[in-house]
Amino acid sequence: MPESRCLQGIWSSPWIFIFAAAGSAIGLGNIWKFPYMLGEHGGGAFLLIYCLCLVVVGLPMLMAEVALGRTVRSNPVDTVNDLAERRVVSKYWVVVPYVAGLTGLLILSFYSVIAGWAFAYSRRAVTGTLEQLNTVQSEALFQSFLNSPVEMLLWHSVFMGLVVIVVGQSVTRGLSNVVRILLPTLIFVLLLLAAYALVVGASADAIGFMFRLDWEQVTFDVALSAIGHALFSLGVGLGAMFSYGAYMSKRMSIAKACTIVVGLDLLVSILAALIIFPLTFEFGISADSGPSLPFVTLPIIFDLLPAGQAIGLVFFALLALAALTSAISMMELFVSWMHERFYIGRLKSAFLIGIGVWFCGIAIVLSFNHWDTKLLFDLNLFELVDNLTSLILLPMAAVALSVLVAWVIPEPMLKNEMIAKNPKHFRWWYTTLKYVSIPAAVLITVAGWIGV
């Protein structure tokens, strides 16, 4: 496909690509979801399997998605249509990018609600509501927040409005300015907080919990969650990285860039856990208390710090911004497709899609309070959408995109694309993708379908 199909321009420097991709990867999945999953799945075993999944499943799939994007320089929908028209792939493949795009929007419908929590907590830090809370009060505060749908809806709306505005700009322009400052600041604040939490909290218990391997905890269920979360955390499978790859300069090494992204993603997850668990153990909060864990634990550390409320404000605002840079990539697939295929303005496309996602978000908001009803498999709507997307739809889409790269696109074309100076590296990636990453992700998808 000709290079002229790239309508949005190229990232101005290699580091901007890395920041943008890391901006998509690093978000609520690292700071909110990873610690509570680690808590629910027993610590060390989950962490070990998770790291393994990042390297042998996530990294090869991430490279595949970026490589495909850079090869074709178009959006995923048009790319697959084009390959089908040229009879390189069967016409049924056309379903894949639509499923990927819809999965992104489904994730966005709950992601936006949780990002709204971060905004609400930033505001609470300003108004002093988070001051002098003990564990019971912090839990009660969070519960009362969950019981107020109007406030949740308000912040969900603010977040969706911001997503629409940023995605409405050219991605290479809007995003690069934000992530350049955001990511280093976020990592710096997390480092400070982790150091402080380790000093004031029960650090020995926390480190034991996080890094001690208890073989009894290594179960099939833990492995499935770890693969699912590795894909979610890297943001592969939704065509987002595909779109970012499409803006990537040909001179850049995909392997190097993606390895750095995976490293940064893991670093942020571990830092988040190092903040939360010393406090969890110190203050007797249950490690497996689920989605509320970070929001109950963090206000306690801010209260212990000098100028804690200001730090709390900075932290929750950074969390909301990190969520914003991830949310952008969930919407990007359809926005770039509507723009490139139908010449609808980016802002208008983003607005139309945003309205749909906003409505779905209302149902998610209600599932935390008035409509907290078990709908299926003993799960409420939020839990259902979360499980459906991260255990079934996202791995399915990631597998499909990877199969396209590993089994359908001719090997010489890829070899060229990966700029593998060392042919062994290319072989390593290609073989792992074909025979390890794809089968492992297929396993999790099938297990998800049959409800293991």
Residues engaged in binding ligand PFF (CB under 6 A): 24-25, 27-30, 104, 107, 232-233, 235, 238, 240, 326, 329-330
| 89 or 261: CB nearest ligand PFF | 261
Q: Which long-range contacts (CB under 8 A, 24 or more apart) does 420-425 make?
A: 420/255, 425/255
Closest approach, Cβ 290 to ligand PFF, in A, equals 17
Q: How far is the CB of 89 from ligand PFF (least distance, A)?
A: 22
Nearest approach, Cβ of 403 to ligand PFF (angstroms)? 18
Q: How many angstroms separate the most distant Cα atoms in the chain?
A: 65
Q: Which residue, 265 or 340, is less far from ligand PFF as judged by CB?
A: 265
Which of 26/152 has CB closer to ligand PFF?
26
Cβ proximity to ligand PFF: between 25 and 275 the closer is 25
Q: Least CB distance from residue 1 to ligand PFF, whole Å?
A: 23
Q: Which residues pair with 379 in a beta bridge?
A: 376
Percentages helix, strand, coil for the chain (3-state, rounded to 5) are 80, 0, 20
135 and 284 Cβ atoms separated by less than 8 Å = yes
Cβ neighbourhood burial of 289 (10 Å; 0-12, 13-18, 19+): middle
Residue 233 beta carbon to ligand PFF: minimum distance, rounded to whole angstroms: 4
3-state secondary structure of 369: coil
Q: What is the CA radius of gyration of the chain?
A: 21
132: Cα within 13 Å, side-chain hemisphere: 0
Nearest approach, Cβ of residue 88 and ligand PFF (Å): 25
Rounded Cα distance between 430 and 424, Å, is 10
Taking the C-alpha atoms of residue 291 and residue 122, their distance in angstroms, rounded to an integer, is: 18
Cβ nearer to ligand PFF, comparing 279 with 320: 320
Closest CB to ligand PFF among 238 and 264?
238
C-beta of 205: minimal distance to ligand PFF in Å?
26
Closer residue to ligand PFF in complex, CB, 63/330: 330
Supply the minimum distance, in Å, between the C-beta of residue 94 and ligand PFF: 20
Q: Choose between 27 and 354: whose C-beta lies nearer to ligand PFF.
A: 27
Angle at 144 between CA 157 and CA 159, to 5 degrees: 15
* Nearest residue to ligand PFF, by Cβ distance, number only: 29
Coil, helix or strand for 287? coil
Q: In this complex, which beta carbon is closest to ligand PFF, that of residue 125 or of residue 236?
A: 236
Name the strand (E) or helix (H) holding 3: none
Minimum Å gap between C-beta 176 and ligand PFF is 17
Q: How far apart are CA 196 and CA 191, in angstroms?
A: 9
Shorter beta-carbon distance to ligand PFF: residue 232 or 430: 232
- DSSP letter string, 148-201: -HHHHHHHHHHHHHHHHHHHHS-HHHHHHHHHHHHHHHHHHHHHHHHHHHHHHS
Integer CA distances (angstroms), 219 to 42, 95, 226, in order: 11, 33, 11
Q: What minimum distance in Å lies between the beta carbon of 231 and ligand PFF?
A: 8
